Amino acid sequence: MELLQAIAADQKIQVNLLPDTRANLFPSLESNKYQILVGSFEANPERQAKAELSHPYAKGYRAILSKKDSLVKSAQDLRDDKVVVGVQKSTNSERKLVELGVTPKSYDSLFNTFKGLAQEEVTHVEGDSIPLTYYAITNKNESIKQEYALTHFDSNAGDSMLVYAVSKGNTELLDKN
């Protein structure tokens, strides 16, 4: 968000940030409710078909967040029957878990997924490493007294590139330098 705000200030563009659930974002972009989507969006063919995508601005890393005492060290370990994985619905993370043979518990936001871990609804959370790390650092609940550990989801986790998305055919925002 801070990066977008800095770019908007430099380009003298007014930005209003409106939070929404992941599942609503691309339909809202297509209906022109939003002009740009900002978040941890990976470039993929499905998104390219729905929107114009910016040049990549960062590498994306999916990660597994768990309590410190977890024995899960890789994505393969998430298949264990005792493991309950929380994930944000309608994300590449959810799709990857299903491909792996894991049936995750889906939440409407990554923060609510993290809360599911803190409240012991799930044993692990899979998602974007940047916000998961932020949530683990900034949302320590003194009554829980819990430490968290972050593990990379897979060896190809750094291959995804994060982008912004704008409405199909509307390249004005993307053309700003």
Q: What confidence tier does 145 reach under pLDDT thresholds 50, 70, 90?
A: very low
Residue with tokens 């940047």: 130
DSSP the chain: -HHHHHHHHHHT---------HHHHHHHHHTTS-SEEEEEEEP-HHHHHHEEEPPP-EEE-EEEEEETT----SGGGGGSTT--EEEETTSHHHHHHHHHT--PEEESSHHHHHHHHHTTS-SEEEEEHHHHHHHHHH---TTT---EEEEES-TTGGGEEEEEEEETT--HHHH--
In terms of domains, do 18 and 68 share one? no
In terms of domains, do 118 and 165 share one? no
In terms of domains, do 66 and 52 share one? no
Give the range of the structural domain holding residue 124, as residue numbers without chain letter. Answer: 62-152
Residue with tokens 């470039």: 43
In terms of domains, do 54 and 87 share one? no
Distance (Å, whole) CA 172 – CA 37: 14
> Longest Cα pair distance anywhere in the chain, in angstroms?
53
Q: For residue range 11-59, what is the model confidence (pLDDT) as tens digits?
A: 788 888 787 877 788 899 999 898 888 877 888 888 889 899 998 888 7
pLDDT of 143 > 50? The answer is: no
Write down how long the chain is.
177
pLDDT of 142: 46
In terms of domains, do 36 and 8 share one? yes
pLDDT of 144: 42
In terms of domains, do 54 and 71 share one? no
pLDDT of 51: 93
In terms of domains, do 121 and 146 share one? yes
In terms of domains, do 83 and 148 share one? yes
In terms of domains, do 108 and 28 share one? no
In terms of domains, do 9 and 70 share one? no
In terms of domains, do 146 and 165 share one? no
Q: What is the pTM of this model?
A: 0.72
Q: What confidence tier does 116 reach under pLDDT thresholds 50, 70, 90?
A: very high
In terms of domains, do 135 and 101 share one? yes
CATH number at residue 168: 3.40.190.10
pLDDT of 60: 76
For the chain, the domain total comes to 2
